[in-house]
Amino acid sequence: MSRPVNFSAGPSMIPVDVLQSLATDMVDYKGTGLSLVEVSHRGPVYDEVHQQAIALIKELLGVPEGYSVLFVGGGATMQFSMLPMNLMGGAPADYVNTGVWAKKAIAEAKKVGDVNVVWDGSDSKYLSMPQVETLKPSSGAAYFHITSNETIGGVQYKSFPETGDVPLVADMSSDIMSRPLDVSKFGMIYAGAQKNLAPSGVTVVIIRDDLLARSSDQLGAYLSYAVHAKANSLYNTPPVFPIWAMKLVLEGVKAKGGVAAVAKENAAQAAELYGAIDDSEGFYSCPVDQAFRSDMNVVWRLSNEELESQFIKEASAVGLTGLKGHRSVGGCRASIYNAMTMDGVKRLTSFMAEFARKNG
């Protein structure tokens, strides 16, 4: 079977061997006679998968002692609300506004309490990011929130701010597990699974244990990080299927040599694609500040929207799908998450060169 190369921003590519493994085991999970998605989440068969998925996240990201890994439903969007509900505790929180996703996080936090927007990229159309050395938390801030990679704008932090005693919180939905990370710099990290980890349905939250004390007893049980942590993410029925898939995806990351090895591949693929844009003598152009170009979501423009539509249509016809930019910004976007291969990227760059030759 020949599959298209899938550049979709999310849900996005899952390694084919993971899809095949899920298909093989879907009806009869490893000789148990039943599917993993139809047995108790409190039984030993699922429990092993659940514990292994947590252990792999800890191992691959080097999560230090004193942090909990939680699996929560509701996507990263749910975290936009859960985070302020749990951690604000009446104090204002700092947010860096780097694009569409940061803006959504800010809007939800404002419903819960006071927000200081410490840097705002809206005037420059979110085409750049702040120098991290200039980012300083306000005194008395409950936490300091960043979006490590803006999936729509295609900008990505290359290093992270030092926020001292104020916990740094990051939405890493679109670049978790794509590069090595010093988790000890963060109070909390959250990420919807459907880019680098699994199909949609589970969100990973990595939280420093002392912050769990901030979750008020008055919060609804599901909304409380403390409740999820105490129950090891088995307070209620967890999203069994994406957690199972995530375990398989993470085993693949480990087999490749871990996050550092994956990061090297990601950087090479991003360099190939940005190279094709930069070397096109202006036929393609990347609007993003060079210093903050994302290794995950590469955005570019052609000279007019008509030509962009033609590009996307012809690319799709030759098996290169998901290249349309987000409806809010237009243009083209290739999402090259962990599951992308250099072969897939080279198929795109060859097509780009050919398209430019024909239409330039």
Which residues are annotated as catalytic?
101, 171, 195
The correct pick among 101, 244, 300, 351 for binding ligand PLP (CB under 6 A) is: 101
Does 173 help bind ligand PLP (rule: CB under 6 A)? yes
Q: How far is the CB of 117 from ligand PLP (least distance, A)?
A: 17
Does 75 help bind ligand PLP (rule: CB under 6 A)? yes
Half-sphere exposure of 275 (CA within 13 A, CB side): 11
Q: In this structure, are residues 147 and 105 in contact, taking their beta carbons and an 8 Å threshold?
A: yes
Q: In this structure, are residues 294 and 154 in contact, taking their beta carbons and an 8 Å threshold?
A: yes
The first and second tokens of residue 196, run together, are: 């680098």
Q: How far is the CB of 13 from ligand PLP (least distance, A)?
A: 14
192-221 residues in contact with ligand PLP (CB under 6 A) are 192
Q: How far is the CB of 2 from ligand PLP (least distance, A)?
A: 28
Q: How far is the CB of 127 from ligand PLP (least distance, A)?
A: 17
| Beta strands in the chain, from DSSP E residues, in sequence order | 5-6, 67-72, 93-97, 115-120, 144-147, 149-150, 155-156, 168-171, 188-192, 203-208, 297-300, 320-321, 332-335
135-154 residues in contact with ligand PLP (CB under 6 A) are 147, 151
The first and second tokens of residue 241, run together, are: 């299927």
Does 171 help bind ligand PLP (rule: CB under 6 A)? yes
Tell me which residue of 150, 144, 86 sits closest to 112, measured CA to CA: 86
Stretch that binds ligand PLP, among 42-50, 126-134, 169-177, 216-224 (CB under 6 A): 169-177
Does 174 help bind ligand PLP (rule: CB under 6 A)? yes
Does 10 help bind ligand PLP (rule: CB under 6 A)? yes
Give the containing element (helix H, strand E) for 342: helix 342-359
Q: Is 63 exposed, middle or buried (0-12, 13-18, 19+ CB in 10 A)?
A: buried
Q: Is 15 exposed, middle or buried (0-12, 13-18, 19+ CB in 10 A)?
A: middle
Does 8 help bind ligand PLP (rule: CB under 6 A)? no
Q: For ligand PLP, which residue has the nearest CB?
A: 75
Q: How far is the CB of 152 from ligand PLP (least distance, A)?
A: 7
Q: In this structure, are residues 299 and 335 in contact, taking their beta carbons and an 8 Å threshold?
A: no
Kindly state the number of chain residues that form the binding site for ligand PLP, as judged by CB under 6 A. Answer: 11
Q: Which residues bind ligand PLP (CB under 6 A)?
A: 10, 75-77, 101, 147, 151, 171, 173-174, 192
